[in-house]
Structures are given as C-alpha cells and as structure tokens.
C-alpha cells in the first residue's frame, strides 16, 4: 500500500521483555515470532523492534558492536528472517531500531579509532584536545550524568559520548561514517525490513567548533536532578547539518518500495515539536518524527492541542507520530492516574484520544492491558541512570518489566527467572484474563483501533480544534466527506456539552446523547458522526 505509514498504528516490542522461548529469562526473537498474532489481533499495522543487534548490553542493546548481526541473547539472523516472514504473512510491517548516533566502545571502528591519531578510523568518532588545564574542551554534559567527554590516554584526547562513556559518538561530519551507516541500513533493507526507527535522530551532528552550550531558562532556583536539564543544547545536538544527512537517508529508503523512517526527537518542549516539523516537512526528509512532548506528566486539553497545532502550523505537509508511552518513560496510566476515575478509565480514555489524533500513532507493549509502572527497588535496578540519580529518578526499569501473558508466577513470559521482576500489580493485568472479559482494557483497545481503521477521517483527515474550556478536549476530523467530532473529558468529574446540529454517537465511546446534550462521565469520550451538511457546534451545557 502506498504511504502505508500515514495513519498507521505502530506497536513497539521491547525484545528483552516480550516473550522468552529458551528459558534464560530474557525475551528472544522466536518468542516474538510466536506472539505476533497478538499484535495483529490488536489491530496494529507495524511492529517496531527495539535493538536486537550484537551488543555488550551496557545500555540494553542501544550500544551496538555489530550493525549487521543479531546478538546471541536474542537469536540468529535465521530467527530474524523467520520473524520477518511471519509478520509479513500476518500483514504486519517490521521497523527496526537504528542506533547510529553512537556505537559501543567495543565496536571494531572505535577500537581502531582510539588506538592512535593517525589510523584509518582516527576521525570516525568525535575527538578533542584537552584545555590547557587538562579539562574537557567544553561544558557539554552526558544525558546519563557527568561530562560528555571521556579521556583516552592512548590518544591524549577526549572523546564525546552523549550517553554512557561506553557509547562514543560517531563523527557524521566525516562522509565515510555516513557511507558506512547507509551501507549497514541497506543490509537490512535488502533483508526485507519495512523501515527504521532512528534513535536520537537529532544527535547525529555536533558543532565542529565545540562551542559551549548556554544555560537553560529555568524557573526552579534549585539545580535539576539531572544537570543535563540545566543547559540549552544548541551546539551539542539539533544542528543544521543534520538535514542533508536525513536527505541521504530518505534517498536510501525511497530507492526501495514502501519503506518508511520515524525519528526520535530528544529536545526540550520549546524546541522539540519545531524540530519534528523541520525534519519531516516536504518529501525528502523523515517520513515521520516523534518527540517526548506527550510522554511526560502534563495532561491538559491545552497541552495536547498545542502540540498538534504547533506541528501542523510549522509543517502542513509534515507527518507526526504520537505516542503516550515507550521504553524510556513511566507508563502513562501511572503518570496520569490522578486525572481519571480509575487506572482502567485513564487507559481507555488515552487510547480513544491517541487514536483520534492526526498522524501515525505508536503503542508500547503492555499498554493495551492498561499496564502500570512497576515499583523497582534499588537492588533490582539494571538501568545505568537509575543508579546515577537514585532515588529522585529511578531509571527506566519500571516500564521495561516483562509482558504478562497469563496469571502464572512468571506471567507466561518465561520458564526461567525473568530478567526484571514481575510483581502482583502487573501480573493482575495479563492477556489471558483480559481476553476473557468483554469490558477489559484490551477489548477497548481492539474496538477503538478497529474503529480507527474503518474511519478515513481518523486515519488521514485534517483537524479543526474546538474552543472548549478545560478539562474538555474537542476537535473535528474530516476526510473525503466523512466528518467526526471527537470529544474527551480529561478529568474524573462529569461534563455536559450542548450539541447544536444533527449528529449521532459513533464508535465505542463512553458517553450518552439526549435532546442535544452530550453527557461525558469522568474520563469519558465520544465520537459524533454528523448527519447534516455541517459539523455540529459544541458548547458547554
């Protein structure tokens, strides 16, 4: 299908935690393949696999030591091919994570680069001389804490690492590095993958002058938990040179049929949606991009409206990918629980909203169960920043605990000991139990995604927002003469709206319409199908 990615539903699989088939407590490719039917039945169009490449696993696979092979922890290239074949047989596209802004320090390229200043790979990473006092060349910090510069005695220089010291940044100002990465991506395209999720896509280039970042504008007089948040990262990332490289990547994917790229934008809220728009506008950059703007604590109609409007105002021909959860942030049901009548009600409201937003949408494994954040103890931690910033920041392990398939002790995930604990609150939200209940969160996800799939207005229509007061979010979606009015109550308190114009309830909403008054219960939502020539007018009753 041409432009299959527009309006698609992309389901993220975190391979370590989806299904373990060999009993070692860590998920694997055969396990994922066995469970693909679940993803297809949910109503997803594509699967995004977090990294499965060869890696020492210092950052759970986001530190790649071989871009063209599968880590034995997950299986083999043959296992990957089998997964790809099964997904395609089920009508699912497969997108793989490409972590190319940095590699592992065990990658042969870096092993060679760090050995001397005059070897063939000497300029493949970002190297800098120390200052006269021996200190790093500037003030750039690492996302994971401390300086972004690590001393290498063999070269008597520092190298840049935006994340762990074992994740050195590649130098994309070097054309040979670009060519090598494009060749690695071509390897997977030739194998049949349908596209890429580009990790930290705005980190590829740095300021070659290594100018120091200025301080951020902050209202809090206290230092941030992570000092990274105290700078405007205008020189260490999101550089203008990135555009030309994205154009090279787009030319690569466009040389194959029906392939797509979605990029992760990591920047502050004032800049991220603008960067999303810049990276996707036109037809020669990314197909889609997403930011962390909907992955945080804010849960207001104003916030969601501003993110969508800001994007399309900046790039009317661009395309966003919205999501509420992923492997890097606390699960949204836990983040937003205080805004709803119950955790399950928040889960149902969230998928109704997400399925109604203009763009492509991303789902993270387990959210279709209303899965909550796991409370991780210090002695259960595996995530590096969790150790660094405990207890104010507990790392990302809480959202990465294994998928729960049934009510057994290991949740049907493994016959061994899970690599992260499965605790009772998460065990209670298992697939088998929800399959047997017509009113489960899983049933709501399936019904909502089926409704979206059948609605051209929701998948590809334009958006016109309604001027309604908090806590109600409302907008019209329209495409090819089909029109829907989408209304959401972002609070636990009932709301009443007056509907002027011919309309009737559509889809699996949670509301009632009588005599021109729409009653939205706490955490309720409604889709209205206009039956007249114009969209209904909506005001507070």
Which runs of consecutive H residues, i.e. helices, occur in 260-300? 269-280
Catalytic residue among 59, 71, 194, 199: 199
Other CB atoms within 10 A of residue 131 CB: 11
435 Cβ partners below 8 Å, 6+ apart?
A: 442
Residue of 459, 453, 455, 445 lying closest to 42 (CA atoms): 445
415 Cβ partners below 8 Å, 6+ apart?
A: 20, 23
Q: What is the DSSP letter of 480?
A: T
3-state helix, strand, coil in the chain (%, to 5): 30, 20, 50
140 Cβ partners below 8 Å, 6+ apart?
A: 147, 148, 149, 160, 162, 212, 213, 231, 233, 235, 236
End-to-end CA distance of the chain: 44
Q: How far apart are CA 462 and CA 450, in angstroms?
A: 20
Q: How far apart are CA 116 and CA 350, in angstroms?
A: 53
221 Cβ partners below 8 Å, 6+ apart?
A: none
* Contact assessment for residue 26 and residue 400, using Cβ atoms and an 8 Å cutoff: no
* Contact assessment for residue 101 and residue 198, using Cβ atoms and an 8 Å cutoff: no
Residue 474 phi, psi dihedral angles, 5° rounding: -145, 145
Q: How far apart are CA 151 and CA 30, in angstroms?
A: 41
Q: Are strands 495-500 and 503-510 parallel, antiparallel or unpaired?
A: unpaired
CA atoms within 13 A on the CB side of 409: 5
Tokens 């008054």 found at = 517
Catalytic residue among 264, 278, 344, 383: 264
Q: Is 112 a catalytic residue?
A: no
Q: Is 199 a catalytic residue?
A: yes
* Contact assessment for residue 131 and residue 223, using Cβ atoms and an 8 Å cutoff: no
Q: What is the DSSP letter of 223?
A: P
Q: How far apart are CA 163 and CA 518, in angstroms?
A: 49
CA 284 to chain centre: 22
Tokens 């922890």 found at = 73
Region of 479 (left: φ > 0; alpha: ψ -120 to 50; beta: rest) is beta
Map residue 179 onto helix, strand or coil.
helix
Q: How far apart are CA 476 and CA 338, in angstroms?
A: 27
User: Counting Cβ atoms within 10 Å, is residue 367 exposed (0-12), middle (13-18) or buried (19+)?
Assistant: buried
Active site residues: 199, 264
């Amino acid at each position: 299908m041409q432009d299959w990615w527009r309006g698609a539903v992309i389901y993220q699989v975190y391979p370590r935690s989806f299904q373990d088939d060999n009993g070692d407590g860590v998920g694997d490719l055969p396990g994922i393949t066995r469970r693909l039917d679940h993803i297809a039945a949910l109503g997803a169009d594509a699967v995004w696999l977090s990294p499965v490449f060869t890696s020492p696993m210092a950052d759970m696979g986001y530190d790649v030591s071989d871009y063209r092979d599968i880590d034995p922890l997950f299986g083999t290239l043959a296992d990957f091919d089998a997964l790809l074949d099964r997904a395609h047989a089920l009508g699912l596209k497969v997108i793989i994570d490409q972590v190319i802004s940095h590699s592992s320090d065990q990658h042969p390229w870096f092993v060679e680069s760090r050995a001397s200043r005059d070897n063939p790979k000497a300029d493949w990473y970002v190297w800098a001389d120390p200052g006269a006092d021996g200190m790093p060349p500037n003030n750039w910090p690492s996302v994971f804490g401390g300086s972004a510069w690590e001393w290498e005695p063999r070269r008597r220089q520092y190298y840049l690492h935006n994340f762990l010291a074992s994740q050195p940044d590649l130098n994309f100002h070097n054309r040979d590095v670009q060519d090598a990465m494009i060749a690695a991506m071509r390897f997977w395209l030739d194998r049949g993958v349908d596209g890429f999720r580009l990790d930290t896509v705005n980190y590829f280039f740095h300021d070659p002058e290594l100018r120091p970042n200025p301080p951020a504008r902050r209202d809090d007089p206290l230092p941030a938990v992570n000092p990274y948040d105290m700078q405007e990262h205008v020189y260490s990332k999101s550089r203008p040179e990135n555009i030309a490289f994205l154009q090279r990547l787009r030319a690569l994917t466009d040389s194959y049929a029906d392939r797509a790229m979605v990029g992760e934008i990591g920047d502050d809220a004032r800049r991220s949606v603008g960067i999303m728009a810049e990276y996707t506008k036109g037809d020669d950059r990314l197909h889609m991009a997403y930011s962390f703007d909907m992955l945080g604590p804010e849960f207001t109609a104003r916030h969601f409206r501003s993110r969508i409007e800001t994007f399309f105002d900046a790039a009317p021909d661009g395309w966003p990918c919205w999501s509420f959860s992923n492997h890097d942030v606390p699960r949204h049901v836990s983040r937003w629980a205080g805004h709803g009548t119950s955790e399950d009600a928040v889960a149902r409201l969230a998928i109704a909203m997400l399925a109604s937003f203009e763009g492509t949408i991303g789902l993270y494994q387990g959210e279709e169960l209303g899965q909550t954040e796991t409370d991780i103890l210090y002695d259960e931690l595996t995530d590096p920043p969790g150790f660094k910033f405990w207890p104010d920041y507990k790392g990302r392990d809480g959202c990465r605990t294994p998928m729960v398939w049934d009510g057994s002790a290991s949740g049907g995930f493994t016959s061994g000991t899970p690599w992260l604990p499965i605790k009772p609150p998460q065990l209670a939200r298992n697939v088998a139990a929800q399959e047997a209940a017509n009113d489960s969160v899983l049933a709501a996800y399936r019904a909502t995604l089926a409704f979206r799939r059948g609605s051209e207005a929701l998948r590809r229509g334009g958006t016109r927002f309604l001027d309604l007061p908090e806590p109600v979010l409302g907008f019209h979606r329209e495409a090819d003469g089909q029109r829907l009015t989408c209304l959401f109550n972002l609070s636990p308190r009932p709301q009443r709206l007056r509907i002027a114009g011919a309309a009737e309830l559509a889809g699996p909403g949670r509301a009632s319409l009588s005599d021109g008054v729409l009653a939205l219960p706490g955490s309720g939502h409604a889709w209205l199908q206009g039956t007249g020539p114009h969209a209904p007018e909506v005001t507070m009753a």
